[in-house]
Every structure is written in structure tokens, then in C-alpha cells.
């Protein structure tokens, strides 16, 4: 098992380095450049050249990337001239807010998706299965920005039950002080997750319902509810555990749109504004954070999956 973990950690490190390299190269080939974005349209060519020399932007690309990696090793993510603060400070201020939104939407999605997937599996190829499947496909196909706009129109204008804007606050406490403002962003972000998770739960449950241990449990006289909840559901949730770790990129991309739509001061809105201003240090820092979180999430999911599934645990012990 230790060798398996070391192998996965090595693979994770390689993936993170490749992500930083690809992002670094793409950002430096975008038109305009950081100097023009920071100094403004009125800056002269001499001023831009002086800025690029001071920041090291006139050096070869491989040398710039090597210096960037050296700063990363020291924990230096760079400095944002647009925000006039370090990248680490900007991320630290906004990361807890995005985590609250993401965790709340994921928890809501899991609570709804698991029962829906179980109902679909138990009543498969019948009207409950067809109805939930149609609604899931509709939710999955609906653009998240359109869904958010409909939420605002319906529940903030037609029926003024909730505020149309997310909580505005500098600290996490100020955001949590307005729970009503979190309802629409959380529900909007959770809808797509429900559609994905419910289909995974259904597929896994259908596979497990055809296993021999289910027939054995029924032959022993166990009630159908105990067979479903106590045996099938427990094994059917294994793929969902893996999905939770692998779903982080999609969750962040959804949070980016939702935060922009509801003006929620989190990481997604920071990334959006930084892209418009060509704030390269912020873009690199956020991308690095998301890639690390995704890789760690996948690693944790693999470890949990290996811990609960004896077949994976046996394979890991042999590797």
C-alpha cells in the first residue's frame, strides 16, 4: 500500500508540473501582454520594455518558467499589480468563500442525488426511472448561466422570496451572516451535480442488484429495504466516492460562472476579473491551486476506494 501511495504521489507531482507548464506557456503567448495591461494603453514602448526587463519578461521562456518554479518552491505565488497585493493574500481572502459555496452545493447534490439514483435503480425501466432520467438529462443539458438567470427571474423578481445577489462581504463571517443570499447560488451550482451523481448512483446500483450477494441476502429472508440500504447501496456508492474527487474541475468551472452571475466574491469571480485584466500572476496562482486540489482529490478518492474495496486494496498491495 505504501508503494502504491508513493507511485500515485509521483504521478500527481508530474501532473501538477505539466499543468503549470502548459498554463504558463499559454498565458505568455496571449496577445497584449502583462506590461500593457498594468501600465495602460498610454504607456510608451520604452516604458513597456523597462517593465519587462524589471520583471524578467524579456528573458527566454524556459528561464522565466524555471524562475517561476523556484519561487513556487519558496511559497511565493507572485504579486498582482492589478490588486496591489500578493497572489497568496488574494487567494486566501477568497478561497474560504468559494469552499463554502462548493461544499454546500455538493452536500445538497449528494443528499438529493443518492435517493434519486436508488429510486431509478429499484424502479428501473419504469415511469419513475424514465421521469428522473429525463429531468437529469434536461438539467445536464441546461447551461448553468441560463439556469442561474431563471432562478433570479423566478425567485427574486416574479416571486421575491430571495435576494438576486449573493452575500457581499470582505470576510467569510460577513458572507455567512446572509444565508438567504447563498440559496440561489448554491441551488444553481447543485443542479448539474445532482444530474451527474444520480446517473452514477443508478448505474452502480443496477450493477450491484444483479450480484450474487444480493440474491443470497434475499434468500435469507431479509426485507427489500434492508437489502437495498444495508447491502446494495453501501457497495453502490464506491464509484461516487471516486467521482467526488474527480469532479473538482467541473465544480470550479461551475462556480466561476455562478460567482460571476451572482456577484459572489470568491475564487471564480477573482479568476474571471483577472482574465479580463490579464492579471497573469493571479491566473497562474488560481490554476495551480485548482490543479493541486484536483490531483489531491483524485488521490484521496483512490485511497478511500482502495480502503473500502478489497479488490482494489489487494491490487495496491501487490503493486
Q: pLDDT tens digits, residue range 2-18?
A: 776 777 778 878 888 88
pLDDT at 98 over 70: yes
What is the reported pTM?
A: 0.80
Calculated CA dihedral for residues 77, 81, 82, 83, nearest 10 degrees: 60
**What is the spatial distance between Cα 184 and Cα 1, in angstroms, rounded to a whole number?**
43
Write out the H or E segment, with its range, that includes residue 155: none
Q: Within 13 A of 159's CA, how many CA atoms are on the CB side?
A: 5
Check whether 284 has a pLDDT greater than 80: yes
Whether the CB-CB separation of 87 and 171 falls below 8 Å is answered with no
Question: What is the mean pLDDT of the segment spanning 123-135?
Answer: 90
Percent pLDDT > 90 in the chain is 11
Mean pLDDT of the chain: 82
What mean pLDDT comes out for the span 241-256?
A: 72
**More confident: 58 or 153:** 153
Under 8 Å CB-to-CB from 189, ≥6 apart: which residues?
101, 102, 105, 144, 251, 254, 255, 258
Which residue from 266, 255, 258, 249 is spatially nearest to 91, judged by alpha carbons? 266
Domains of the chain as residue ranges with CATH? 94-279 (1.10.3720.10)
127, pLDDT greater than 70: yes
pLDDT, residue 314, reads: 46
Average pLDDT (8-37) is 77
Residue 259: closest CA among 158, 188, 179, 199 = 188
Q: Residue 33 above 70 pLDDT?
A: no
Length of the chain: 319
In this prediction, residues 8-30 reach a mean pLDDT of 80
Amino acid at each position: 500500500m505504501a508503494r502504491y501511495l508513493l507511485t500515485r504521489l509521483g504521478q500527481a507531482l508530474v501532473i501538477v508540473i505539466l499543468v503549470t507548464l502548459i498554463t504558463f506557456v499559454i498565458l505568455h503567448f496571449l496577445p497584449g501582454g502583462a506590461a500593457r495591461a498594468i501600465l495602460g494603453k498610454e504607456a510608451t514602448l520604452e516604458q513597456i520594455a523597462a517593465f519587462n526587463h524589471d520583471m524578467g519578461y524579456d528573458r527566454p521562456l524556459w528561464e522565466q518558467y524555471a524562475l517561476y518554479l523556484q519561487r513556487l518552491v519558496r511559497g511565493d505565488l507572485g504579486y498582482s499589480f492589478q490588486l496591489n497585493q500578493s497572489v497568496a493574500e488574494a487567494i486566501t481572502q477568497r478561497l474560504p468563500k468559494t469552499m463554502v459555496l462548493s461544499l454546500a452545493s455538493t452536500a445538497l447534490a449528494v443528499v438529493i442525488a443518492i435517493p434519486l439514483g436508488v429510486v431509478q435503480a429499484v424502479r428501473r425501466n419504469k415511469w419513475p426511472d424514465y421521469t428522473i432520467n429525463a429531468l437529469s438529462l434536461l438539467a445536464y443539458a441546461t447551461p448553468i448561466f441560463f439556469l442561474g438567470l431563471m432562478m433570479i427571474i423566478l425567485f427574486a423578481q416574479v416571486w421575491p422570496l430571495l435576494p438576486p445577489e449573493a452575500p457581499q462581504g470582505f470576510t467569510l463571517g460577513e458572507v455567512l451572516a446572509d444565508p438567504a443570499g447563498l440559496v440561489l447560488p448554491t441551488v444553481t451550482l447543485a443542479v448539474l451535480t445532482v444530474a451527474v451523481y444520480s446517473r452514477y448512483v443508478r448505474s452502480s446500483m443496477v450493477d450491484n442488484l444483479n450480484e450474487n450477494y444480493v440474491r443470497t441476502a434475499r434468500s435469507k429472508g431479509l426485507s427489500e429495504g434492508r437489502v437495498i440500504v444495508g447491502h446494495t447501496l453501501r457497495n453502490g456508492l464506491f464509484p461516487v466516492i471516486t467521482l467526488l474527487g474527480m469532479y473538482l474541475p467541473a465544480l470550479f468551472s461551475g462556480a466561476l460562472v455562478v460567482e460571476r452571475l451572482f456577484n459572489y466574491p470568491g475564487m471564480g469571480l477573482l479568476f474571471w476579473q483577472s482574465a479580463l485584466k490579464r492579471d497573469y500572476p493571479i491566473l497562474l496562482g488560481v490554476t495551480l491551486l485548482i490543479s493541486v486540489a484536483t490531483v489531491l482529490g483524485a488521490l484521496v478518492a483512490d485511497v478511500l476506494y482502495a480502503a473500502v474495496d478489497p479488490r482494489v486494496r489487494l491490487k495496491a498491495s501487490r503493486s
